[in-house]
Amino acid sequence: MLIAGNWKMFKGPAETREFFAAFEPPDGVDVVLCPPFVSLAAALESGRRIYAQNVHWEPQGAYTGEVAAEMLRELGVDGAIVGHSERRQYFDETDETVARRARTALDAGLGVIACVGETLEQRESGDMELVLKIQVEALAFAVGERPGFAIAYEPVWAIGTGRTATPEQAAEAHAFVKSIVDVPVLYGGSVKPDSAEDLLTQGDVDGALVGGASLDPDSFASICRIAATIPS
């Protein structure tokens, strides 16, 4: 089971070192941390698996503010998140650019967690499966089923809101994603220690992409301990 922590735009290098000094995850669970770009080097000092929060599809060029896959590889980073809903919402990411980022990262030997999910309006209008189908098929066409590739289902209405999909809602969405492409599917959307067990014990849930709860070493370690007790 994969438990990934997405720190978003929190924790510079000093706070990153403080986190890892206090973070004690259990054995038996695959743990990944995703700090901001400026804190990648500090995070790598911990010896743990580290992913970036984004990666560009070109090897180099006039792309101010972007970072290439080979640059991350040289640094020692193991993978990258692509297509997080905040990237789609605030930075105009599209299904095409997310798929290109995923393909380039995998070709470079990086792992990828590609994010998909619907808004509250889309869910309430009955378009959840249509939205997921479009997003996941774009990834499946570009990437297929490759080692190191995982999808994170993150209902946009549950990110940073404190709301969490019910276990049944998560299981339904995960099963639908897996009907399109057979890869590990993580749940992301306000995962906390008190909701983790109910979500992670669902049959089609292969782990979690944790946001705010991953910023505290004890809280994140608690989620990892819960995951370690769930049979694979």
Q: What is the pLDDT of residues 188-220, one digit of tens each?
A: 988 999 999 999 999 899 999 999 999 999 999
How many beta carbons lie within 10 A of that of residue 65, not counting itself?
8
Domain count, the chain: 1
**Contact in structure between 178 and 205 (CB atoms under 8 Å):** no
**Contact in structure between 60 and 79 (CB atoms under 8 Å):** no
> How far is Cα 203 from Cα 178, in angstroms, rounded to an integer?
11
For residue 121, give the CATH number of its domain: 3.20.20.70
Query: Is there a catalytic annotation at residue 154?
Result: yes
Tell me the percentage of the chain whose pLDDT exceeds 90. 84
Catalytic pick among 86, 93, 118, 154: 154
Phi then psi dihedrals of residue 52, to 5 deg = -80, 170
Hey, which residues does 15 pair with through a beta bridge?
none
> How far is Cα 153 from Cα 188, in angstroms, rounded to an integer?
6
CA 198 vs CA 73, 160, 173, 207: distances in Å: 36, 19, 15, 12
Task: Write out pLDDT tens, residues 20-29.
Answer: 999 999 999 9
- Mean pLDDT on 156-184: 85
DSSP string, 165-226: --HHHHHHHHHHHHHH--S-EEEESS--HHHHHHHHTSTT--EEEESGGGSSHHHHHHHHHH
- Mean pLDDT on 120-144: 91
**Contact in structure between 48 and 20 (CB atoms under 8 Å):** yes
Which residues constitute the domain of residue 36? 2-228
- Mean pLDDT on 70-95: 96
Residue with tokens 């984004």: 54
Contacts of 124 (CB under 8 A, 6+ apart): none
Catalytic pick among 56, 84, 118, 174: 84
> How far is Cα 225 from Cα 131, in angstroms, rounded to an integer?
33
**Contact in structure between 172 and 158 (CB atoms under 8 Å):** no
Q: Can you read off the two tokens belonging to residue 216?
A: 């505290």
Q: Is 86 helix (H, G, I), strand (E, B) or coil?
A: helix
Q: How many helices (H) and strands (E) does the chain have?
A: 10, 8
Query: Is there a catalytic annotation at residue 84?
Result: yes
Q: Give the pLDDT confidence score for residue 160 in this predicted structure.
A: 65
Phi then psi dihedrals of residue 114, to 5 deg = -100, 130
Assess whether pLDDT exceeds 80 at residue 145.
yes
